[in-house]
Structure 1
Amino acid sequence: MGVHYHKRLMAHGPGETPSPGRAPVPARATLLDFFHDATRRTGAFLVHDDGYRTWSYRYDEVGAAARRVAARLHAAGLAKGDAVVLWGENRPEWIVAFWACLLRGIVVVPIDFRSAPALVDHIGGIVKARLLLAGEDVEAAAVTLDVPRWPLATMLRETEGESPGRGPGPGEPPPVPITADDTAEIIFTSGATAEPKGVIITHRNVLANIVPIEREMAKYQRYIRPFSPIRFLNLLPLSHMFGQAMATFVPPMLGGTVVFMRSLAPADIVGQIRARRISVLVSVPKILDVLREHVRHRFPETLAVQPPPDSGIAPLPKEKWYRRWWRFRRVHRAFGMKFWSAVVGAAPLDPELEAFWGGLGFLVVQGYGLTETAPIVTLNHPLNARRGSVGKPIHGVEVKIADDGEILVRGDNVSQGYFGGTTEATRTRADGWLHTGDIGGLDEQGRLYIRGRKKEMIVTPEGLNVFPEDVERALLAETGVRDAAVVGRHWEGEERVHAVLVLDDPAAMARVVQGANSRLGDHQKIRSASIWTGADLPRTEGTRKLKRTALRAWAESGEQPAVRPVTGEDPLQHVIGRFAKGRDDVDDDTPIETLALSSLERVELLMALEQQFQTIVDEGAFAAARTVGDLRTLVGDRESGIADRERPTAATLDRAGTTGPTGTEPDAPRRLGGTADATPFDFPRWNRAPWAYWLRRLSLPTWILPLGRVFAWVHVEGREHLEGLRGPVVFAATHQSHMDTPILLMALPRRWRYATAVAMAKEFFTAHFHPEGQPIGRRLTNGANYYLASLFFNAFPIPQREAGARHTLRYIGQLFEEGQSLLIFPEGKRTMDGEINPFRAGIGMIGSKLGVPVVPVRLEGADRLLHQKAKFPTPGRVRVTFGPPLYLEGDDYAALAGQVEAAVRALGNSKFEI
């Protein structure tokens, strides 16, 4: 008999009162009941950092957008039961589209945004999709599926009125009857099989997951309230059921906020956690692994948590959590004092990794589930977690262990089958239990422990079972082992334990196997081993699970790729070789995309380059590199004889060429791109402090602008174009004199005047930013001009001939987050005789990347007030004309800048004489 453990969901009956101190949980017939309750809130719900600026949306805004998109779906002829493919990166619009489909009874078919277009075509054909909803980070143009395509990016911005030409949209259609057994989504799991399987998930399946969790959380609402809002940084794909649950369902139970970010660089993750005051990180274990290496490098004292072999570092004694917290307070300060937990899923958590973060005083929570269980089976209680366990079954779920050790699950959360009703679905549920294929055990308290996969379990000739994970842990504990996988290899009719290794030194294979075997039982000992010459073993893209089927087939084939020796002659090749997956034909002309790196592997490559060359690599320039040779020049590799090649930067490698030639500063920090996005200067933040704002707010109307009006007699036209606008916006103005900024501030309505930042050329302040060799007098006057402009006009520098486009966009995005608008002069220089110079592509990039309307502004007559050659202004008339706002889309930034320039030139037909 197998071990059997279950918890039944005890719902309150009609009129029954919940326990004292416990908040009542509303009845949920379908997921739409949850949606309607959640979207009555007005607090912050979804935050998206797209790498340039941050977009924030309230619960009620998300609800309104979902209803609007649902109406569009109805108007487009989609009906209940139709399938819609949802293929996009994590972003608020993904959740809007998800709820919009559910409101109309439309079946959502989520696909991981990293999937190939061919897979999207294949799955779309299987479900007979009627529509494709595509994100910005996917190759939608490569999809041949013959269905309409809607961009996700517009689904919230158009609700704000930022996307013109679409009109108010259709009215709200009649409601669609939805039941608990209606299909909500079909999630395809491809794994290593040729034919993907679509798991049918109903409203009942998901409710069986979220209602027990909601009831449990209700017990602690009054304790959680002082720490609210609870913010989640969700790095799991929304196409994965666990990532979906931790963004769409769990945070609303707490009135929490979910943050999505584009970057997976560890420094960016830590910065995001600190800046957004994140409480909980949601990710795959691999993210914690990457963060562990980042923390060890940044805080060497953390090596004492798990001292490396032969390091001589004494391990720490066992301590209470508060002592560990105090010992590693520098780490906690780096993450921010609100951060306390990581919730991991989608892949097994290495006990050593869990122990590391626990040793620092952080809580790591893991659970267990499958796509077929929508997705949760067991979950560790945050206040009663047990290390190594995946927790207890949630209410309403039964778990038992079969005689052969397989975990069996039964409950309303279990899917009723696969799309199309495959025989496998019938076979696995013939006895009423879901056969998970996982091997595990239950302790006396009902906690579940996972030992491995049943089909991956190795049976020795002696009839003993070997779980690959146990042997892999012994291998990974050996020095010099970067990765390891254990599979069963058949030899003379018997199954033997075989190791596939990725080693720093392939010649050390015998030592590694011997060391691991010394800690293993006789039946677990490794009988044979192979060297895998790639950077990493093959894993699935989303969950990072080992592709054991492929590894077993490779091992059985007996093929042994030649091991390319690593020498110290070429440090870049040493790094690249770890990621080249066994290729021996990689040279400087090899396109990086042909290395087939996953998103996390790209992050690991970036970190490896930093470590090898002892430099700081900018992510934007790294992403812009196209070949291995680009990486060589970007890191400034002098050892390979390519020292004189121009270093590409995010600016010079960008398609648009937004910032022109790259400047070189001999004393700038050595980073990827030279002076580039490494930011050799800090953008001013002090001038946005309350004291600076109020000094500026008092000075402008009392003496600065009145003084300007003595010289500039300003006539304003086109103010009506600003009346319907909501900030922030970009004012793109012609540049005629040093009087332009006060003149334009005079022309702006009051609500814009005191909430606008001014961009000024950084090169104008060369004596301040690069004082070497500059006369002392010029350094003092130039520095004074910089600080006075920053203080009284809320100005900041933009590099024109130096790289730094990405960092500049990031700073402008922060201004927009604070409600500030931007005044910029796209010509980049003052006019000589009143002519309009060509607009630089940067204005196109700002308008498109940051998603803000651009208002063309034409300034006339200011060059007569204060000409370039004049030292003192001459009083006179000035005309300022505002045009209709432009909404820029696309990545041809030069062409977009041309649109703005044409709009400005068209404003010169006024009858007012100057």
Structure 2
Amino acid sequence: MRTLVDLFHSFAPLGDKTALINRTGVRRFTVSYRELSDLSLRMANLLAQRGVAPGDRVLLWGPNSSWWGVAYWGIIMLGAIAVPVDFMSDRARAESILGLTKATLVLQSRFKPERLDVPDALFLEDLQYLLQEVAPYADAVHPDPDDIAQLIYTSGTTGNPKGVILTHRNLVANMVQINEGVPIITPDFSFLSLLPLSHMFEQMGGFFTPLYRGATVIYPRTLKPSAIMEALGEEDVYVIMSVPRLMQLLKSSIERELAEKKLDGVFSWLAGKAQPLSKGARKRLFFPVHKKFGSNFTVFVSGGAPLDPDVFRFWDAMGFTVLEGYGLSECSPVLCVNTIDRQVAGSVGPPLPGVELRLDGKEVVVKGDNVFPGYYQNEDATRAAFTADGWFKTGDLGEITPDGWLTIKGREKELIVTGGGVNVYPDELEGVLNKVPGVKESCVIGLDRGSGEEVHAVLLLDDSGKRPEEILAEANAKLDSLHQITGYTIWNEPEFPKTTTLKIRKFQVKEHVKKGAAEGSGGASRDHLVNLLAKVTGADPDQIKEESLLVADLGLTSIGRLELVNYLEQEFRLDIEDSQIGPQTRVSELRRIISRREKGEHRGHYRFWTNSAPVRALRMIGDALINYPLYRLFAKLQVRGAENLTRLDGPVIIVANHLGYFDQPSLMFALPREIRYRTATAAWEEFFFDDYRGFERVWRRLAYQYGTLFLNLFPLPQTGGFSGAVKYMGKLTDSGLNTLIFPEGGHSQDGTMKDFQLGLGIIAKELGIPILPVKIIGTDKILPPHQASLPQRGTVTVTFGKPLHFRFEEPAEIVVRAQQAVAEL
């Protein structure tokens, strides 16, 4: 295998084997290896039709998904050059890279509130529709191994990005080196992708390597904790590509759960006793924790930053395998990794086969086919990156043991040299500070006061109220006298500025401290939230104040609330429910939710088991003995447009007007049995679960029990928690079930149809399935809504329209088309 094209040609023969899985938070979509091959060739043709030629640069700025993968392989199979940009980057950085590369075309995402304003840009989310109309690319591509495959732009310690040239030879070499160094991956493996594909650690370890071995990659839409745990619970995950910060967060989550159950002491005692045991015995001892990760979970792969030895020991004590590695984008990126047979806390392992490594002074320098040829159109930076004899200078300080294992001490540019000439490694001091109670996170920098650098701590404190002087005293008590921290600054933002792998951008922190900005309350994150609110609400950023009410002052609509929640999950990687944002929510309160990562309560009124075969059989019996005979006492049913039901191919959203309480049974009995018993009905949640008292509370709860069992109802809230209902509908759709919705949100009072609610558009967009319009006539004559009277006998007509298919329409357009279709029946 010489180029990525050779790897691509291995996809189609794997046929229906699952390559990629998209978990959108609502739906689950799979892409087979055959489909990945076909879609990628169509993508190559689409790019060619848009004016992209071999050798042109294509900017790829979007979140992880199968469509990112399709876009990437389409670029490669056209012979063009991919320019992945970190999805978390702001527009200014994307514009800078666009200018540096002079990219011919931009591929971006609708999930980014700030987009590049360039002609002919394509949205990744639209590819599923665009590629339907394009034939596979027929021209064979035969790149030379030394041709450029992609440009990766580094974050840069000074903020000036440099374009790392990675050739086909570089990428294929590292892929083969990894599989020789860690030969454990089989086609049965599933990788949970949590890091951006724009970062080489994830791209190599969680994209190329799994595809090389015929394994499966799983992409959650957001990195909020609940999405990660759901993926672990529902997918058969073998490997997680991780960074130290994420492993620390998972560790803290487990420790917090143990403390809440008063089991932290027992856990610590067991962890101590488990050390001499075999890994298998430790797995059995801590099986409740392993159960959360799945029966086949094999390994954490940690990279991107040094892993705290205490974090390593925490996972190792429970029998988890943690492979810490080391590399740089310039090296495609992996240089070293612990082996599956041996893992050492604090070490990044031996060099991979084919990688040469030595120390030049204390700096690690390397050679190998995986090492890049230079920076894009930057000869000065290229010359400075290599030694006179051609070894790449990593900029990292390290130590090599006699058996060849490497330990990284820190970045040379971050090394602090005190006035006394003592070398201080910031990472080591941060490891001490972060364990001191009261510290949420820390960043140690060197401040030059004119007589050498002083060791300065920038502290992000928790809510304990512990004084910073006490924190420093406690930390210094554990440090050598030559490595003492001499000053501090309090960081008042919710988080430090970070890279895509969650490393702190120390040069930005240092600049803020020098300017005194860290003592104030302003900062990039505050502006970012204000800009996000302005984007969603259309309000003037200058008019958005901390005391502004999101609904009353900024005009946040119900559809805007869901859009805001989606953006917040993407941008801040936190769990948040739309029910947490209400009429009384102010900007300051939203900032507090983000800062404290407060998790909203998820309503638990959904019962998916009512769609099981036994309950479906119960529903058939109930219809035969109770529901249908009772219905026939009052209604004569006429059905029109039944021929349109034969056109259904897969699940649909059934949409109807709403005249009265006989609408749902009338529509259901109008459906053929094979569709009727595979359809669930959305019902107004507040009808069952509002703040009722006494007997009314009892009968409404009983009505809910009957409705879920015998009518297959599920709750659809009108006042909050809408996202939970959409997620439930996604589960129905993934199981091949239909959803019935009455989008007027209530009964018509005079027989005329009310405007459909915008939520229908969001549901249709998220589910990605057709809408079946239905018109009901006559139910208001049998039992008028809001009238306490016995039903009157009458005729009900149910008319089915032709299914409506949607592609590029926005939610509002979908609602208009659906309402018009129902009205015209």
- Report TM bin, short chain: 0.7 to 0.9
Q: Distance in 1 between matches of 2:270 and 2:655?
A: 61
* Counterpart among 322, 329, 340 of residue 364 in structure 1: 322
The one-letter amino acid of 1:434's match is F
Q: 1:497 to 1:832 in 2, by over 3 A?
A: closer
Tell me the matched-pair count. Answer: 779
Instruction: Determine the structure 2 residue equivalent to 1:610.
Output: none
Structure 2 CA distance for partners of 1:261 and 1:621, relative to 1, 3 Å:
farther
Deviates more, 1:147-156 or 1:245-254: 245-254
Cα offset, 1:681, TM superposition: 3.9
What SS class does the counterpart of residue 294 from structure 1 fall into?
A: helix
Q: Distance in 2 between matches of 1:82 and 1:701?
A: 66
347, 352, 375: which one pairs with 1:418?
A: 375
Q: Is the counterpart of residue 50 in structure 1 residue 50 in structure 2? A: no
Query: Which digits, 9 at most, give the CA deviation of each residue in 1:856-914, with x for residues without a partner?
Result: 22223444555546635636462413134142756654x6423321121122xxxxxxx
Q: Is the 8 A contact 1:537 1:546 kept in 2?
A: no
1:151 is aligned to 2:110:
no
Pick from 636, 639, 642 the counterpart of residue 715 of structure 1: 639
Alpha-carbon shift at residue 355 of structure 1 (Å): 2.1
1:107 is aligned to 2:81: yes
Aligned CA distance change for structure 1 residues 192 and 506 (closer, same or farther; 3 Å) = farther
Equivalent position to 1:874, from 769, 782, 793: 793
2:771 alignment partner, one of 830, 838, 854 = 854
Partner of 1:614: none
Partner of 1:654: none
Per-residue CA shift, 1:653-704, capped at 9, x if unaligned? xxxxxxxxxxxxxxxxxx98xxxx7344421122122322344467768996
Q: What CA distance in whole angstroms lies between the structure 2 residues aligned with 1:820 and 1:266?
A: 28
Corresponding residue for residue 568 of structure 1: none
Aligned mates of 1:885, 1:133 — CA distance in 2: 28
- Cα deviation digits, residues 630-663 of structure 1 (max 9, x gap): 449989x9xxxxxxxxxxxxxxxxxxxxxxxxxx
Quote the offset at 1:49 in angstroms. 2.5
Pick the aligned partner of 1:316 from 256, 268, 272. Answer: 272
Of the three residues 677, 691, 714, the one matched with 1:796 is: 714
| Shift, 1:515, TM fit | 3.7
Change (3 A) 1:510 1:844: closer
Paired residues for 1:318-467 under 5 Å: 318-319=274-275, 320=277, 321-322=279-280, 324-402=282-360, 404-429=361-386, 430-460=388-418, 463-467=421-425
Paired residue secondary structure (1:368): strand
Query: C-alpha deviations, 1:7-64, integer Å up to 9, x for none?
Result: xxxxxxxxxxxxxxxxxxxxx1211221221343312232222233333322222222
- Separation of aligned partners in 2, 1:744 and 1:199: 61
Q: RMSD value over aligned CA atoms?
A: 3.8
How far 1:148 moved relative to its partner?
Answer: 1.5
**Any idea what the Cα deviations from partners look like across 1:164-216, whole Å, max 9, x if unmatched?**
xxxx3245332233221121110111323243100011111110111233356
Task: Tell me, in whole angstroms, the C-alpha distance in 1 between the residues paired with 2:797 and 2:129.
Answer: 36
**Partner Cα distance (1:179, 1:706) in 2:** 75
1:758-837 residue pairs with structure 2 within 5 A? 758-766=681-689, 772-774=693-695, 779=698, 782-800=700-718, 802-831=719-748, 834-837=751-754
Q: Is 1:741 aligned to 2:664, yes or no?
A: yes
Q: 2:760 aligns with which of 835, 838, 843?
A: 843
- The within-5 A match list for 1:79-228 is 79-139=53-113, 141=115, 143-145=116-118, 147-156=119-128, 168-170=133-135, 172-215=137-180, 220=184, 228=188
Task: Choose which of 63, 72, 78 in structure 1 pairs with 2:37.
Answer: 63
Matched, 1:549 2:515: no
- Conserved 8 A contact 2:489-2:519: no
1:885 aligned counterpart, secondary structure? coil
* Cα shift at 1:293: 2.4
Counterpart in the other structure of 2:436 = 478
Find out whether 1:234 has 2:193 as its counterpart: yes
Q: In 1, Cα distance between the equivalents of 2:101 and 2:512?
A: 33
8 A contact 1:719–1:882 mirrored in 2: no
- Judge conservation of contact 2:457–2:488 (CA < 8 Å) in 1: yes
Please report the TM-score for the alignment, with normalisation by the length of structure 1. 0.77
Residues in 1 aligned to 2:498 and 2:701: alpha-carbon distance in whole angstroms:
54
1:757 maps to 2:680: yes
Q: Determine what percentage of the aligned residue pairs are the same residue.
A: 31
Give secondary structure in 1 for the equivalent of 2:10.
helix
* Distance across 2 between alignment mates of 1:498 and 1:305: 38
- In structure 2, do the counterparts of structure 1 residues 729 and 105 end up closer, same or farther at CA, with 3 Å as the change threshold? same
Distance 1:34 1:522, change over 3 A: same
Inter-partner Cα distance in structure 2 for 1:460 and 1:798 = 63
Q: Secondary structure at the match of 1:381?
A: coil
Q: Give unmatched runs, 5+ long, in structure 2.
A: 530-543, 555-566
Structure 1 pair 559–884 and aligned structure 2 pair: CA distance change class (3 A):
closer
Aligned position for 2:558: none
Q: Letter of the aligned partner of 1:874 in structure 2?
A: R
Q: Which of the numbers 507, 510, 525 marks the counterpart of 2:484?
A: 525
Is this contact kept in 1: 2:90–2:114, CA < 8 A? no
Code of the residue aligned with 2:366 in structure 1: it is: V
2:218 corresponds to which residue? 259
Q: Structure 1 residues 140 and 71 mapped into 2: Cα distance closer, same or farther (>3 Å)?
A: farther
1:59 maps to a residue whose letter is Y
| Residue number in structure 1 paired with 2:559 | none
Equivalent residue number for residue 540 of structure 1 = 498
Residue 286 (1) aligns with residue 245 (2): yes
Work out whether residues 714 and 743 of structure 1, in 8 Å CA contact, stay in contact via their aligned partners in 2.
no
- State whether residues 47 and 55 of structure 1, in contact with CA within 8 Å, keep that contact through their aligned partners in structure 2: yes
AA at the equivalent of 2:126: T
Q: 1:492 to 1:198 in 2, by over 3 A?
A: closer
- More deviation, 485-494/58-67: 485-494
Secondary structure in 2 matching 1:148: coil
Change (3 A) 1:381 1:305: farther
Alpha-carbon distance change, 369 to 723 in structure 1, aligned in 2, over 3 angstroms: farther
Q: Distance in 2 between matches of 1:247 and 1:214?
A: 12
**2:240 touches 2:300 (CA, 8 Å); kept in 1?**
yes
- Identify unmatched segments of 5+ residues in structure 1: 1-27, 162-167, 308-312, 565-572, 577-584, 607-616, 638-670, 908-914
- Please give the alpha-carbon distance, in whole angstroms, between the structure 1 residues aligned to 2:468 and 2:798: 78
Q: How far does residue 315 in structure 1 lie from its aligned partner after superposition?
A: 7.9
Change (3 A) 1:137 1:792: same
Cα displacement (A) at 1:620: 6.4
Paired residue secondary structure (1:393):
coil
How big is the shift at 1:367? 0.9
Offset at residue 434 of structure 1 (A):
0.6
Per-residue deviation, 1:736: 3.4
Identify the residue that residue 541 of structure 2 maps to in structure 1.
none
Distance 1:822 1:587, change over 3 A: closer
Q: For the structure 1 residues 195 and 748, does the alpha-carbon distance in structure 2 shift closer, same or farther, using more than 3 Å as the test? A: same
Following the alignment from structure 1 to structure 2, what is the Cα–Cα distance between the partners of residues 864 and 339?
A: 60
Distance 1:726 1:184, change over 3 A: farther
Amino acid at match of 2:174: N
**TM-aligned CA deviation for residue 471 of structure 1:** 2.7
- Secondary structure, counterpart of 1:440 in structure 2: strand
Amino acid at match of 1:816: T
Q: CA deviation at 1:774?
A: 1.6
